[in-house]
Every structure is written in structure tokens, then in C-alpha cells.
Amino acid sequence: ARSRNLPVLAQYLSGGDDYALIMALAEKGLPDAELSQQLQEGHEACGPARFFAGMVFEEAQIIERTPFYLYDPRAQLYSLGGIAEENEILEALARRSDGFLACMRNDGRVIFVPEKQIQLNPRQKAPLKTDQKSFNGTYRYRKLSVNGALMHLAEANLKAHSFSTTVSPYYNLINPGKERTLFVDELARRASAKVAINGTFFNMDSGSDLYGWPVGSFFAADRLVHSLESPSLNALNRSYLAFTDAGRLIVGETTQKGTDILRQNQAGSFDTAKFGNQRIVAFGGGFGWLVKNGDPQAWKAYAGKQFDPSFYSRTSRRARSLVGIDASGRQIFFLAQEEGSGSPQPMSHPELAEYIAANTAYKDVVFLDGGGSTQLVIDGRSVSNPSNGGAYRKNSSALLLMP
């Protein structure tokens, strides 16, 4: 009875990432203390593994992963190491038979808290109405605090469910009228998207004929709907997102001659875009590298001579928007970092690159437009606050997760 929930819990909470490790250690029949020590010593950065160290031999009841926003500033909250802490708790994961709740803190760590010491905090936002069964389920949203940086993270597995992902340009790119930019939540509602984040950089000069035009190209429904490339815009070796008809997400780049994903033919139109033998059904560009093949090399060098390290306010601690994929091209994340009183020490681009490369399985990550443009939307509702207490900015494009 003690171990009957182990396979279910392992798949439910770790999405398979640590399943083999957890099962192998559990088969040894190690007592809690020894198992906990092995997991902490060998896998210090692994939240799910630390979680099982305390409950692998305890019968536990799974709690739906909808955020509970539990908080008690007076409670003595204990981690596995027995250190007394005071923390805001964002999610209750499981209830143990000894009266403790396994809870996820706002920094992503799992701790065990006496259930009687936890109470709902009425000052918190209402729980999001999302289906958050597991990493391998539909999608998962959580709020993280890392060294004073407040971040909102949404993750989804594109293979496990019938999601499609697309890059959506501003309203009516083919026949643009006065409406050239939209708030991300409005664009998400129009498209019935489950998750949406702002897209690439764009022309913000409202007096210009090119107001609202995104930097880069957009390809949808087998046709090019927008193109704006210029060396003066640091366009060489800029990163792009592409989505295939097989449901894979590709992060890549275009170079100067002969290797563009989209080839312009002599008639002036664009050939059907392909990646190997997979047809590309959506394509958007104008982003910048943050992590490439697991290496935080975004700022090492650019082939384009126009590269200037000051571009994108690289060292500034600003609101940021990121998107990334794992090695399979199936697991995707959307991240919005806040800037303001609730996030006193947001990370710079280089710091974000180092953190993601060291602490996640995402191998390719690009940054989107940031600052006032940053906006993450879940089920039509904005979860990230506007930069520095201001108002949301209308954007020219967004990345959408579609049901």
C-alpha cells in the first residue's frame, strides 16, 4: 500500500523526467532519510526528486494542481532539511497521511507544511481556472520568484494533446487598416487561444506609414503575409520560430544568402516552406537568441556585422518575454518576467540565459519584445502585471497556443 501510488505520482508530477530515477531508488527500499540524502546530494536542482524523497514510502492523496495561493506569514514552514522558513505557497500538490501538505513555493521548491498551519489568503488573486494535470497533460501555469525576479511560466506538451501553436501577426496583415496593433489578451480571445504571449519587436512610431509592422517575416496558411528585413535592423542571423504540420516547433535562424527557410522565386512569390519532409504551416521572425542548443551563447557573437551589444537593453533589468523548446521540439514554455515593486530584481538577458541553461531542460530559447510589451495571457486573462505599474501596451504580434 505504501508504494502503490508511486508510478502515478511520478508521472503526474515529473512528466517522466525523473521517473526512472525515482523508481530505481525506490526499488532499493531505502528509508526516507537515506533516500532523501541521496536525492539531495546527487540531484540538488531537481524539484520533483526532492518531493518524492519525503513521500515515496507514504500513501498520499493527489490534489488537483490548480493554484491554491495559500499563505500564512506566521507559520513555521519546514523544508526537507528542517530549516524553518516563511514563504508564500502557490500550489498544494498532495496530502500525506500524516497531515502534511506537499506544497510548491514561489521559487519552485517543494516543501512539506502542516495542513492546519495553512490558510487561504484573501489578498491573493482568485485561482486560475486551468486544467493542470501534469507536465505531460494539457498545460501548466505557475508563478516563480528567483532571487527577487518575479516570473510567470506556462508549459505545454504539444505531443500529448491536440494543441497547435502559431505566430499571429497584428490584425489583418494582408489588408491592413487603422487597427495594426492589439492587446495580447484581446488577440488571444479573438483566436480562442489557451496561452498567449507577446511577439516580436515592431515599429512603434504612430506617425509612420509602417506603424505596427513587425520586424522579420510572417508565414501562415502556406503564404508569406509580411516581410520586413533590413541590415540596419540587425536582421542578420536573427532567430525565428517555425511550426510544422507534424506538430513540431523549430527554433532556427536565417543567414545572408541561399539558406533562408523561405526562398523567394523569380516570380516574386514564396515557395512552400519545408523543414526536411515536414511542411511549415506557420513561421515568425524578428526574435533574438538567448540559449542555443543548451548553451547560453546569445551574447557571445553574431555573424551580422551590425550586432551591437547594447541592442535590446541586454544588461538592463527589465520586463522580459521568452519562449523555448526542449530537444524533442514537443515541450514548449512561455515565460514573462515582471518589472516593478513585485519584482525588485528582474534578471538581465545574460542572467536569464545562464539561469535557464543551468536549471531547465529547454535547449533553444529566444527572447521576444520586452518592457512595456511583455504580456502573458492564460485562458483570456493576463497573469503578468504591466511594466512598472503602467498599462499594457498594444502589440503587433503574439505567439498563441491553440486548443
pLDDT digits (tens, 9 = 90+) for 180-220: 667 888 878 877 778 888 876 555 555 555 555 555 544 34
Residue 38's domain comprises 6-117
| Pair 267, 319 in one domain | yes
pLDDT classification of 363: cutoffs 50, 70, 90 = confident
Provide mean pLDDT across the span 92-115: 61
Percent with pLDDT over 70 in the chain:
32
| Pair 273, 200 in one domain | yes
Question: Which of 4-18, 166-180, 333-347 has the weakest average pLDDT?
Answer: 4-18
Predicted model pTM: 0.53
First to last CA, the chain: 38
Positive or negative CA dihedral for 392, 394, 395, 399? positive
pLDDT of 341 > 50? The answer is: yes
Contact between residue 53 and residue 10 where contact means Cβ atoms under 8 Å apart: no
Task: Map grid coordinates 543551468 to a residue.
Answer: 358
User: What confidence score (pLDDT) does residue 179 get?
Assistant: 59
Provide mean pLDDT across the span 90-113: 60
- Candidates 296, 298, 303, 254; CA nearest to 275 is 254
| Pair 48, 164 in one domain | no
| Pair 178, 54 in one domain | no
Question: Which of 83-97, 141-155, 340-354, 385-399 has the weakest average pLDDT?
Answer: 83-97
Strand bridging mode 88-96 / 100-105: antiparallel
- Decide if 129 is inside a domain: no
For 213, half-sphere exposure in the C-beta direction (CA atoms, 13 angstrom radius) is: 18
The set of residues, in sequence order, having a beta carbon less than 8 Å from that of 225 and lying 6+ positions away, is: 169, 173, 174, 218, 219
Partners of 168 in beta bridges = 398
| Pair 164, 222 in one domain | yes
| Pair 205, 280 in one domain | yes
- Decide if 40 is inside a domain: yes
CA distances from 208 to 74, 184, 213, 248 (A): 56, 22, 10, 37
| Pair 307, 178 in one domain | yes
Provide mean pLDDT across the span 10-22: 43
pLDDT classification of 336: cutoffs 50, 70, 90 = very high
pLDDT of 379 > 80? The answer is: yes
Positive or negative CA dihedral for 309, 310, 313, 317? positive
User: What confidence score (pLDDT) does residue 11 get?
Assistant: 40
Cell numbers at 68, concatenated: 491554491
**Tens digit of each residue's pLDDT (9 = 90 or more) over 142-186:** 888 887 788 998 888 766 444 454 444 444 444 445 556 678 888
Contact between residue 287 and residue 240 where contact means Cβ atoms under 8 Å apart: yes
User: What confidence score (pLDDT) does residue 398 get?
Assistant: 74
| Pair 43, 182 in one domain | no
Write down the mean pLDDT value for the chain.
57
Q: Based on the structure, what is the number of domains in the chain?
A: 2
What is the C-alpha separation between 255 and 21, in angstroms, rounded? 41
Rounded to 5 degrees, what are φ and ψ at 244? -95, 165
- Decide if 57 is inside a domain: yes
Percent with pLDDT over 90 in the chain:
1
| Domain's final residue, options 86, 117, 148 | 117
| Pair 264, 349 in one domain | yes
| Pair 218, 342 in one domain | yes
Contact between residue 266 and residue 302 where contact means Cβ atoms under 8 Å apart: no
| Pair 107, 186 in one domain | no
What is the C-alpha separation between 303 and 238, in angstroms, rounded? 10
pLDDT of 374 > 80? The answer is: yes
With helix as H, strand as E and coil as C, how does the chain read?
CCCCCHHHHHHHHHCCCCHHHHHHHHHCCCCHHHHHHHHHHHCCCCHHHHHHHHHCCCCEEECCCCCCCEECCCCCEECCCCCEECCEEEEEEEEECCCEEEEEECCCCEEEEEHHHCCECCCCCCCCCCCCCCCCCCEEEEEEEECCEEEEEEEEECCCCCCEEEEEECCCCCCCCCCCCECHHHHHHHHCCCEEEECCCECCCCCCCCCCCECEEEEECCEEEEEECCHHHCCCCCEEEEEECCCCEEEEECCCCCCCCCCECCCCCECCCEECCEEEEEEEEEEEEEEECCECCCCCCCCCCCCCCCHHHCCCCCCEEEEEECCCCCEEEEEEECCECCECCCCCHHHHHHHHHHHCCCCEEEECCCHHHCCEEECCEECCCCHHHCCCCCECEEEEEEC
- Decide if 370 is inside a domain: yes
| Pair 215, 283 in one domain | yes
What is the C-alpha separation between 89 and 111, in angstroms, rounded? 9
- Candidates 288, 252, 249, 283; CA nearest to 369 is 288
The set of residues, in sequence order, having a beta carbon less than 8 Å from that of 172 and lying 6+ positions away, is: 179
